[in-house]
Copies of this chain bind each other. A is one copy, B any other.
Amino acid sequence: MTFPRPITDHSRLSINTATTRAQWKLAEAIDGYARAGVKGISPWRDQIAEMGLANAAKAIRDADLHVTGVCRGGMFPWADAAGRAAMLEDNRRAIEEAATLEADCLVLVVGGLPAGSKDLAGAHAMVEEAIHTLLPEARTAGVSLAIEPLHPMYAADRACVNTMRHALDICEKMGDGIGVAVDVYHVWWDAELKNQIDRAGKDRLLAFHVCDWLVPTRDLLMDRGMMGDGVIDIPLIRGWVEAAGYDGFHEVEIFSELDWWKRPAEEVVETCKERSLSAV
């Protein structure tokens, strides 16, 4: 077997609903993706809440879409006891939603520094404590937890786990039922990436997200590129995750207020389909 495997159809293409968030509510995304022949979806929880969990689950099932992830659990570090309790409660709901939607995983964006804090090591400890608390409940619910290492430019305000190495260190402390979501946007720069993907192996590679890094990048959050428009060698990285045993979907997740969110959603979806053949 040589990697990356040839991609000749859209049977492994999933779209994260963030990609068409500005244009489509969840019901429209479910319908639009399915109509375009996309086989997977990864919904955000605010959109699930707006549509209603039962309605969303039924519509996704009726559209024969596979749920490659629920976005997102996490945001673990807390400022006080009330914050900790609310965080745990919110993550328990997220686990329940992921179970109901039969998602491949619940994506964990682990959170950054609590407001006013500079204690990065303290935030790391809170992340581990929260996962240690929630993981047995996720196992009982049949939900895999996927730590998504986020790009280091989000360390302060979104996720203080920023490398595959750190995410896998946490996974290995925790045992079964937890792995990583590999998003090329967040980890492409890492000289250790191939080694850490090998280390993760099939059991811990729970999701593979694609988009591209634009040069220049005009905004820290809202200027992700369509696959092929930036500098990431996506087929190379896909080959690495496949060689390590990953055989799941390729999930497109593009935050782009500056470009793609301004275009018709149908055009975005068609471009995702084309590029999934030519640039993933």
Interface residues of A (CB under 8 A from B): 113, 117-120, 124, 151-153, 155-157, 160-163, 165-166, 188-192, 213, 215-217, 220, 230-233, 236
Task: Give, as a whole number of angstroms, the nearest-CB distance from A171 to chain B.
Answer: 14
> Which residues from chain B contact A231 at a C-beta distance below 8 Å?
113, 117-118, 156
A119: contacting residue among B120, B189, B215, B233, CB under 8 A: B233
Q: How far is the CA of A120 from the CA of B233 in the complex (A)?
A: 8
Q: How far is the CA of A216 from the CA of B221 in the complex (A)?
A: 11
Q: How far is the CA of A263 from the CA of B191 in the complex (A)?
A: 39
Task: Give, as a whole number of angstroms, the nearest-CB distance from A188 to chain B.
Answer: 7
Given contacts A117-B231, A161-B191, 13 further A-B contacts (CB under 8 A): A113-B231, A120-B188, A152-B153, A152-B190, A153-B153, A153-B217, A153-B220, A156-B215, A157-B215, A157-B216, A160-B189, A163-B190, A166-B192
Q: How far is the CA of A93 from the CA of B239 in the complex (A)?
A: 42
Taking chain A's interface residues, is the majority helix, strand, or loop, or is none over half, making it mixed?
loop
> Which residues from chain B contact A220 at a C-beta distance below 8 Å?
153, 216-217, 220
> Which residues from chain B contact A216 at a C-beta distance below 8 Å?
157, 220
Q: Which residue of B lies closest to A167 (CB)?
A: B191
A163: contacting residue among B191, B215, B236, CB under 8 A: B191
Q: How far is the CA of A97 from the CA of B165 in the complex (A)?
A: 39
13 contacts between A and B (CB under 8 A): A113-B231, A118-B231, A118-B232, A120-B189, A152-B189, A155-B189, A156-B189, A156-B230, A157-B215, A162-B191, A163-B190, A166-B191, A217-B220
A117, A217, A230, most chain B CB atoms within 10 A: A217
> Which residues from chain B contact A217 at a C-beta distance below 8 Å?
153, 220
A118: contacting residue among B153, B155, B166, B233, CB under 8 A: B233
B165 to A189, Cβ gap below 8 A? no
Q: Which residue of B lies closest to A194 (CB)?
A: B121
Q: How far is the CA of A237 from the CA of B68 in the complex (A)?
A: 40
Q: How far is the CA of A192 from the CA of B196 in the complex (A)?
A: 15
Given A189-B162, A233-B119, decide whether A213 and B156 contact each other with a Cβ distance below 8 A. Answer: yes
> Which residues from chain B contact A162 at a C-beta distance below 8 Å?
189-191
Q: Which residue of B lies closest to A234 (CB)?
A: B118
Task: Give, as a whole number of angstroms, the nearest-CB distance from A200 to chain B.
Answer: 17
Q: Which residue of B lies closest to A115 (CB)?
A: B215
Q: How far is the CA of A172 from the CA of B190 in the complex (A)?
A: 19
6 closest Cβ contacts across the A-B interface? A155-B189, A118-B233, A152-B189, A166-B191, A153-B153, A156-B231
